[in-house]
Amino acid sequence: MSTDETDGETYTHRPGSIDNEQSDEDPFTEPEPSGFGAQGWVLVAAVVICFLVIPGVIYLFPAAPTQLGWTFFATFLVLPLIPAVLLGVIAVWSMTAAT
């Protein structure tokens, strides 16, 4: 506690009180959670696609990129970039849409 004496009066700071005003709202309450929303579910779908679907397709069909004319080296450089870019774009979109 801090006290400050000015003109014979003593000031004592009490957290939660605002200049002797009575407020109906409790300053320590948190807002009600509203859930994921549309942006959250899109982000969850992107995570599932990037961590389960795309690696699963690569695992089940490893020769598919070579049938498209890609070399082995280019395939393993480019394929991880696709989910990374997708997750980055959707994460930025969901954060800007949430604010």
For residue 81, being part of any structural domain is answered with yes
For residue 96, being part of any structural domain is answered with yes
For residue 71, being part of any structural domain is answered with yes
For residue 70, being part of any structural domain is answered with yes
Cβ(43)–Cβ(91) under 8 Å? yes
For residue 86, being part of any structural domain is answered with yes
User: pTM of this prediction?
Assistant: 0.56
Domain that holds residue 81: 62-99
For residue 88, being part of any structural domain is answered with yes
Query: How many domains is the chain partitioned into structurally?
Result: 1
For residue 75, being part of any structural domain is answered with yes
Q: What is the three-class DSSP state of 27?
A: coil
pLDDT by residue for the chain (99 residues), tens only, comes to 455 555 667 877 777 665 555 556 666 777 677 777 788 888 889 889 889 988 888 888 888 888 888 888 888 788 788 888 988 998 888 888 777
Encode 14-43: b = buried (16+ Cβ within 10 Å), e = exposed.
eeeeeeeeeeeeeeeeeeeeeeeeebeeeb
